Chain A
Amino acid sequence: MNAQTLRRYLTPPLIALLLAIALFFAGGFINPDFINVTQAINIVRLAAFLGIIAAGQTLVIVSGGEGIDLSVGAVVTLAAILTFRITGGDNNLVGVGLLASLSAGFIVGLLNGIGIALLRIPPLVMTLGMTGVVSGTILVVTQGEMLGATPALMSTYIARPLIFGIPGVIIIWVALGVVMWLLMERTTYGKHLFAIGVNRTAARLSGVRVERVVIITYTLAGLLAALGGFMLLGFAQTVLLNLGDPYRFPSIAAVVVGGTMLTGGKGSYWGTMSGALVLTLIDSLLRAMGLAEAYQLIVFGGLLVLLIAVYGRELNLRQ
């Protein structure tokens, strides 16, 4: 196999996936206990939450126009708190909780989309501003008190082993992967999404309603982040005011590590899934090594630079 064909098949998502597998076995060197089925499932389960939350981020980044969604963390928190509060631990209200979470995510995403597409606010600051609005709303509603409980049903179906020892969240994640693939590669919305990511003028002159696609994209991102928040509650069992904050930037990192271009127009969700696995593995490995937090941070940052250096490079000015 020559370098040419190697390059064609070794796409960024595949590199990320191979890297994830390599990292897992590397973990075995550091700590032989690291390699076992339980641990593997546990890591995939952790990656699943990040992966679900990063699904909307993938769409937003592919849509281009400096597309980015910094409000995912806040939406995750909002969805978890809503479900926590509304169900109050009652299994019968889980559906209502899910519906309320998704509605909230829908509204936040829609507002993001309107601000970005119609009012032309840069995505970075619009979604940052919405983060403030969502966090502010949470404060107003809860007044800092976390009332409620997590229904037992949720932890059964999301966090605990469901079929063949595989937790529900992983099954849902895989299903989401299929849906996302169909959405991006087999629907008109997906084709239009890539088109506006590459060139909005050309897309418009080919009959793509650019603003509409942008609004749909951010709305989907809100919905997916809310779904992620709902799922996360099933795992975390309890809510905090900053429950979703640790997902804000990692959701972007997962997308980029998966080979999606930050400038838009090129990328895939299965890349993001690989990216989520890689990031989660690095994190788990660093923990397993028992490093002090300071060193964990430094190594994680250094590895992230290396990862994006492998293929996240921009075009050279001189060819």
Chain B
Amino acid sequence: MTLQLSVRSIVKRYGGVVALRDGNLDIQSGEVVSLIGANGSGKSTLSKIITGVVAPNGGQLLLNGHPVHFSNPQAARGRGITAVYQELSLVPDMTVAENIWLAHEPLRLNFRVNRKAMRKNTEDLIALFDGTISERLQPDTLVTVLPPDERQIVEILKALSIDPQLLILDEATASLDSSQVNRLFSLVKQWQAAGKAIIFITHRMDEIFRIADKATVLRNGQSVGTVDIASTSEREIVNMMIESAATPDDIKIPVVSEDAPVRLDVQNLGGGRVEDVSFTLRDGELLGLGGLHGQGQEDLLLALFGAIPYTGRVKVSGKEVHYRHPRDAMKYDIAFVPGDRGREGLLLVRSIIENFQLPSWNKYGMLHNQDAAQRDAHAMADDLQLVYAGMQTPVNSLSGGNAQKVVLGKWLLRHPKLLLLDDPTKGVDVGTKGEFYALLKRLTEAGTAILFYSSDDDELLGLCNRVLVLQDGRVRDTLTGERLTHSELVAASMGATNNHEVA
């Protein structure tokens, strides 16, 4: 069975905001089409319309030449169309198997769920990712105990379980590590050969060139063109997406001098997934944290921010500290930008100013000096080139990149001396990324010490002069100077003990 889907002039408005003004896309069986665009350009909206999660305000979907209208996700699924979403659609209190087969459970006698078959089928699906996942990922594991990358894999398996004709991967690689991404790509190639159509949404340029046949570019809710990957370049695509762009290579943060004061001195730190980690960080240094996903990078940052209990000795500016709560860490001018901005960083329904000032209200007096708070927030918004309608608008009306600016801004308002960053450019568009890199440079020049975890290897190698590579919660290697290369980073991530490259 072959499939041919055409999306014609789709329009979608949320309240007064136009998310999509003219969305177009063509795909057929055996094709991998990449859908790309800056944050807020309408990619996710378009994919949700194709899968029936969101109802369009105008335009048309043509399936094999006939207009179709999906009134809900089941309708689209009935036609073999499904998606792996960016915001996970898993039910936390159910097991992996129950999640994967939810709403199409194998049945006995037409009403009883056949658990045995469900388990078996789940095992077969999990086997697709064998070798790239931990022992934890079993059919009977509750989804709530899984780390983000393995949840993402469950999400992928769930989409696969209906044997789709058209599969949309919406930022499906964002929380996967490189071995998992490699596996996914080899699977995509297989599916493509088997005649499936795949729409692939990502922010990582290299992935588009590795996997896609065509790329359809969206800008401000409008399709601006489709190019053949074989006959295009990164530059061309970036130019289609935005007017100007910066890559990390344009900005190199200078090596910090040996006599800069030590801001952070960590000895034998343990806690969460972290074990026996020691390092120092000087004022004005941008220290990278690398490695595969979930190797303790996030827990290390959380521990240093007092958000999880830890053991070992931590000195800030030479003074030993004992945190029990993030507020304790904040007293030492430490700030933390969490990895999951929707869940950990923002009060989505509250206003921009309330998000900006949340850590800082104390300084505006018993009864807040509202004018001063407004003034500071406006200054920060201008400084970060925030695009917003007004200080009182809720933060969930902002695009991803702008929302991340609010998370960053709320800490910059406190003028931190030590900044802990957990993958701050994840899901952020290319233009905003460039602004972030410039900001990091400005901050280090002003003497801020920054501990920077990124899942994007290019970013780490491009920006940092020293990278700690974590594996299983331990520092596997420290890369500096000549050794700051892709192959060294990958080797250390995979736990290779010598300096030879791994194939």
Contacts and interface: CB of A to CB of B under 8 A. Distances in A.
Given A209-B327, A319-B54, A195 B367 contact: no
B359 interface: yes
B1 to A, nearest CB: 28
B16 A4 contact: yes
A205 B338 contact: yes
Contacts, number: 79
Contacts of B361: 188, 191-192
A208 B55 contact: no
A49 interface: no
Contacts of B345: 202, 205
Nearest to B337: A205
A9 to B, nearest CB: 14
B298 to A, nearest CB: 12
A195 B350 CA distance: 8
Interface in B318-361: 325-327, 330, 336, 338, 343-350, 354, 357-359, 361
Interface in A249-271: 265-266
B326 A202 contact: no
B134 interface: no
A206 interface: yes
Chain A interface SS verdict (over half): helix
Contacts of B14: 319
Interface string B358-384: 110110101110100000000000000
A265 B307 contact: no
B368 A186 contact: yes
B326 A204 contact: yes
Chain B interface SS verdict (over half): loop
A2 to B, nearest CB: 10
B53 interface: yes
B72 interface: yes
Taking residues whose C-beta sits less than 8 angstroms from the other chain, chain A's interface range is 20 to 34
B358 A203 contact: yes
Contact of A201 (B344, B357, B359, B410): B344
B200 interface: no
B305 interface: yes
Given A186-B367, A201-B344, A204-B307, A266 B349 contact: yes
Given A202-B343, A203-B347, A187 B358 contact: no
Contact of B366 (A187, A206, A207, A208): A187
A186 B369 CA distance: 8
Given A188-B368, A199-B346, A319-B54, A194 B354 contact: yes
Interface string A24-57: 0000000000000000000000000000000000
B347 A194 contact: yes
B54 A198 contact: no
A120 interface: no
Contacts of B348: 198-199
Interface string A304-318: 000000000000001
Contacts of B349: 198, 265-266
A208 B305 CA distance: 13
B370 A186 contact: yes
A43 B325 CA distance: 48
A182 to B, nearest CB: 6
Contact of B347 (A182, A186, A265, A318): A265
A207 B330 contact: yes
A239 to B, nearest CB: 37
20 contacts: A4-B16, A186-B368, A188-B361, A191-B354, A191-B357, A198-B350, A201-B343, A201-B344, A202-B338, A202-B343, A203-B358, A204-B325, A204-B326, A205-B326, A206-B359, A207-B325, A207-B330, A209-B325, A265-B349, A319-B54
Interface of A: 4, 182, 186-188, 191-192, 194-195, 198-199, 201-209, 265-266, 318-319
Interface of B: 14, 16, 53-55, 72, 305, 307, 325-327, 330, 336, 338, 343-350, 354, 357-359, 361-362, 364, 366-368, 370, 410
Given A199-B348, A202-B343, 11 more contacts: A187-B368, A191-B358, A192-B361, A195-B350, A198-B350, A199-B346, A201-B344, A202-B345, A206-B326, A206-B359, A208-B327
Complex A-B, nearest 7 residue pairs according to Cβ-Cβ distance, in ascending order: A198-B347, A188-B361, A207-B327, A206-B358, A206-B359, A207-B359, A207-B330
